[in-house]
Structure 1
């Protein structure tokens, strides 16, 4: 009998009155996901994108229940800059998160900034980081993260997957590079959709009225094909949107009350 493929579950949209409530609820959600994964497998694998996400995750640093020594952290995308550069996603996470908690340094996986002059080698090296963690332990063709955390740009991009870019159709590589990002800096590496969509949980975080038009297009008009709308987790993965009321002001998509 031929295998049947379940369609992806509908996204879950959770909207909060303001950013403080969003930050606190997001922290509680991530802490619960962390506990469930650690209880089940003894570790928590998480990948984080850049932008405003590290700041919005700040509530986690106040939660004494989080077992940071069991976290294994990767970056969904990264700007091709030294790790101490202001544009570095890793630096933002170190400054706002990792420097404030007791996560072992060798369980945080930044890019190798000795390879910044060779984008292909840099992306290959980061893909090998994922292979070391996942290839021998999961039977799937792609890694299965416990949680991937994403942001959304005003143009609908997520990670470093931009509207109209050829990487939107990449389906083989785990990590790819680009040198023509429409947002500076132009050189970046990024997870591809197959890696993002195989996560057990995917959470988008979007706040502010400047995201309202884009969020409406992504959720109410997914056929428009914006990069964020192409995030569709493979069954049984689940996609969540944590947004504030300002970002969700124009959205007709049904909201779900927050509960742990």
Structure 2
């Protein structure tokens, strides 16, 4: 029947491409110029490079700041040594004896009678002051003049008057604090005198050197205030720390002498 005939019949369809329509206007005209920069084409790479550059700058800045902080006192000390050499190289103009005058407390005092530091210490530290401290501060690359109560000449002046005179003629007052010094009666008088000079003249500097470990609870109230509000250095038996100690002490002594 019809289904059988449909199945056995074959039909072939031939198709060809047909051109439907085309534009009758101009062709090959540029409608839009679209250009991308290198950053737009490589945004991810640009972000990575920028981040790396900023991180590198920050890292270099942090390292530089850390190095400056670590070596800052060494740099200041080298500057102090140069200033001291220039200062010592100058020929001061004075009278025929080479003496200059300096006005202190409205009184004229000869410059060669002004000392860089008065040192207060207990007798147990006399050898250390003589054999260690004095050579280091008077014969080193930066030289200072020192005076202490051993320089008071008996018979020529009272101990009280000589002590006050020596402290007044010194730019700095140094207390070598030990347990023996704390027990000595004169230290209270010396501390009171130093505090009076600091408040009245404003031209002295007080330096407290802790020669041994002394807890705060063992200090007098007056000594605690002096440690808290003035320059305080700690002596150490370690050689590396001793170098830093002398450097810091000389920097303090040089402030009024060479700056």
Considering fraction of residues, name the structure with more helix: 2
User: Same fold, TM exceeding 0.5?
Assistant: no
TM-score range, shorter chain: 0.3 to 0.5
TM-score by length of 2: 0.35
Structure with more relative contact order (C-alpha pairs < 8 Å, separation 6 or more): 1
